Structure 1
Amino acid sequence: MCELLGVPEEDRTDFRPGPSTSSRAAEFAERNAVSYRSLFECIRSLIRRRRDEPGDDLLSALVELRDSGDRLSRTS
């Protein structure tokens, strides 16, 4: 998935949420929230980088489509 999206090798450990194995529901929810915030920030950062330095990857293509005002359809 990381390769397809163009996530650099050095960022791949930040790209996925960490495991949450707490037996207490509140701790589980908080750890998941922190993990997902980290994941979303990683994705936002990657989008900014792909906007400045497009590559030959899916995320670069999606950023280009969005920024050009184009939209995906069922056939594209």
Structure 2
Amino acid sequence: MNRFFKALVPTLLLTELALISSATAVWAILSEMHAGKYVVFGAEILDVIGAVLLSVVIFRMAWRSEGRMNLEKAGDN
């Protein structure tokens, strides 16, 4: 498996967990405040945008980590 997929897998898993938790929290809080459906949908869209930004950060960190591990592996040979 190449470096891209090795960085993509943890990114997808961590982002999925974060998005499920945050989307549920946003929906629960706004529902308790009796917000309208358009307010809830708007907040969920902002939540998804935040999750996409988080996934970019996680992917970049995983990409760098995989690069360092590849360099260490090449240095051992």
TM-score, with length taken from structure 1: 0.46
Instruction: Name the structure, 1 or 2, with higher relative contact order (CA <8 Å, separation 6+).
Output: 2
The structure carrying a bigger helix percent of its residues is 2
Larger Rg: 2
TM-score, with length taken from structure 2: 0.46
